[in-house]
Every structure is written in structure tokens, then in C-alpha cells.
Amino acid sequence: MATQDKEELPFLTTLLNDYKDASDSARRQLWEDLFPALQKLARRRVGAAGLSGRESATELVTTLYPGLDRTLRNENTHFENRARFFSYVALSMRRQLVARAAQRAGEELDENLEVLAPSASPALVLALERALDEVSKRFPRGVEAFMLRYYLGHSHEEIVEIMNDQYKTKSVVAADLTVVRKALKNAMTGAV
């Protein structure tokens, strides 16, 4: 997130983690405060997926609201920091865009598939989704880092910060990204 967003929402992590105990008016206020940042993130995701701008971004945020609300009300939900929350939201947006790509391609989307990168071709989006799903079984940490790097635009330093429970140095992130890129290439060419 941009510095401006951090300044506008300084206590975001605390507010999100206290969400389940907040009053309805406090929850509504949080969503009103979050909406511009979520819409900005959605515009980037929608644009990357080759869809139209503001209307699709607003629709995407509105579509995600009920699921995000349920997630935040769950007792087991805890976000370590704002980056983890926005990464979670971006991945949820990606999931929605993949489902739309599957509909355009006329295929059913496997409920167990996770999020993946945008593409002009729905068939390529679904192929990459399946490859990520396969590779994540062998390299779950690397696939999470891959998505943070290539789909959400985080630097190696930011990935270390976000995944500090799994990464301590940028060089380990770089090594995992190399392994995942090679595994994805093999999976996409049928060599897995």
C-alpha cells in the first residue's frame, strides 16, 4: 500500500483484529474508510485482467464485501500486519477474477483452486491456476512468495517483512522464486 494509505489508516491492523467485537456502526465506518484503498487495489487487479476500469473495480469490491465481513467476524481470523490483510484481499480479488475467466471460458472452476495471475486468455489463466495449484503442493512457501512478488508487486524486502515467520533474508526469497518459476514452467509444459 502507498504511504498515503498508511497515513490515512494508521491503526488498521488493530481495527481489523478487533472487528469481531466492534459495533455495527464501527464496522460500517471501517468499511467506509477502507473503500478507497480497496477500490484502488481492485482497479489495479481489474486493469491487469484486461477488464474495464472503475465500474468493474467497484463491483469487485462490493462483491467481496460479504466474504470479507464473514472472515473478519471469525474468531480465528488474525492479520499480523496491514500487508497481510491487503495481500489477502488481493488474493480474494484474484479468486473472483479467475472465476469470471472460467465462466468466460465455459469451464467449471474447481473449488479447491487458489488465486492466480491475470491473462488476456481465460484458457491460459486456468492453465496457470492449475499449475500454481500443483506446484503449491510441493512448494507452498515459494508459491505464496511468488504470488506476493509477481501478482501483488511486493519487493523481496517486503516479502521478508510480510512472511517474516518463514523468510529471514532476501536471498532465500530469491532462491524460492527461482525454484517456483522453474516448477511452473515445467507444469505449464506438462513436464511435472
Residue ranges per structural domain of the chain: 3-188
How far is CA 106 from its chain centroid? 24
Question: Would the pTM count as exceeding 0.75?
Answer: no
User: According to the model, what pLDDT value does residue 4 have?
Assistant: 39
159 vs 2: CA distance, rounded Å:
16
**Per-residue pLDDT of the chain in tens (192 residues, 90 and over written 9):** 333 344 455 678 888 888 888 899 989 988 998 998 888 888 877 766 555 555 578 888 888 888 888 888 888 888 777 777 887 888 788 777 777 766 665 554 443 333 333 333 556 666 777 788 889 899 999 988 887 777 666 789 988 988 888 898 999 999 999 999 889 888 877 643
Could you give the C-alpha distances from 142 to 53, 93, 155, 180, in angstroms and in order?
31, 20, 14, 6
Transcribe 147-173 into DSSP letters.
IIIIIT---HHHHHHHTTTT-S-HHHH
Length of the chain: 192
User: According to the model, what pLDDT value does residue 8 have?
Assistant: 53
How far is CA 36 from its chain centroid? 17
Give phi and psi for 109, each to the nearest 5. Answer: -95, 125
In terms of Cβ atoms closer than 10 Å to its own Cβ (0-12, 13-18, 19+), residue 66 is: exposed
160 vs 176: CA distance, rounded Å:
12
187 vs 20: CA distance, rounded Å:
41
